[in-house]
Amino acid sequence: MILHYSRNPNPRLALTVARYLDAPITLHFAEPFHPDQAAKYRALNPSQLIPILEEPGQPPLWEADAIACRLAMGGDLWPLDRRLPEVIRWISWGKATFVQACELIHWELGTKQRYGIGPVDWEGVERGLADFHRSAAQLDAHLKTRDFLIGALSYADFRMACFLPYDDVTELPLADYPALHSWAQRMADLPFWADPFQGLDVPPLPPAPPRSSYRRQSPEE
């Protein structure tokens, strides 16, 4: 099997799962929109997006959650017993709430600034923060009585936390929610979570400008 990945959030998530599981796969850094690679990746996935998992005798598998399912299915991260509905519930809920909020903030403060896509849309950041606070309060209440979302570590935790490694640019107010903050620290301590690229020959992520260079000024300033 070959996993095509990059440093962007969803490919990073798939890579983190693969390395955490020590999956027997070949890792291939991809630039699917590079002119020399575009045709290859368009044939693997019509959207050209990664991650993509190639497996002999099977059609290319794309989307991080599907790839995580393929790699982890039947183990503790993706159990096939009565715990599975709980895993699916948190993946579904998170992608529509907490993860979506984090993604919106990261898009404005991280991705757009790294790649020169445009100025920060501060109204978008404020919408993301409002959604973050609503969902973070619910997560914090849930995590007060357990270390991970379903009690033990599962892929639901990986998906829910997938934007937290980019907090150097998003600066999410995690400390406002002690149980959530403790969970985030437990995730950060997992093997390969902080740096799934260790030991791999991959180009660095383009740096985002210092926050002070695009922080919105108050009228008094």
3-state per-residue secondary structure call for 44-98? HCCCCCCCEEECCCCCCEECHHHHHHHHHECCCCECCCCCHHHHHHHHHHHHHCH
pLDDT of residue 214: 66
> What span, in angstroms and rounded, lies between the C-alpha atoms of 156 and 43?
30
Q: What is the mean pLDDT of each run of 10 residues along the chain (221 residues)?
A: 96 98 96 93 95 97 97 97 97 98 96 92 96 98 98 98 94 97 97 95 86 55 39
Burial of 83 (0-12, 13-18, 19+ CB in 10 A): middle
Alpha carbon distance 43, 67 (integer Å): 18
Residue from 3, 19, 6, 1 nearest 194 by CA: 19
CATH annotation of 84-188: 1.20.1050.10
Every domain of the chain and the residues it spans: 2-72, 84-188
Match domain 2-72 to its CATH number in 3.40.30.10, 3.40.50.300, 3.30.420.40, 3.40.1500.10: 3.40.30.10
Going by C-alpha positions, the residue among 97, 215, 209 that lies closest to residue 163 is 97
What pLDDT, on the 0 to 100 scale, is given for residue 206? 87
- What residues have CB less than 8 Å from 113, skipping those under 6 apart? 120, 169, 208, 209, 214
pLDDT of residue 216: 60
**Do 2-72 and 84-188 come out as alike in CATH topology?**
no
Report CA dihedral (117, 123, 126, 127) to the nearest 10 degrees.
-90
Query: Who contacts 196 (Cβ-Cβ below 8 Å, separation ≥6)?
Result: 12, 15, 16, 19
Distance in angstroms (rounded) separating the CA atoms of residues 107 and 115: 11
SS (H, E, C) 93-161: HHHHCHHHHHHHHHHHHHHHHHCCCCCCCHHHHHHHHHHHHHHHHHHHHHHCCCCECEEECCHHHHHHC
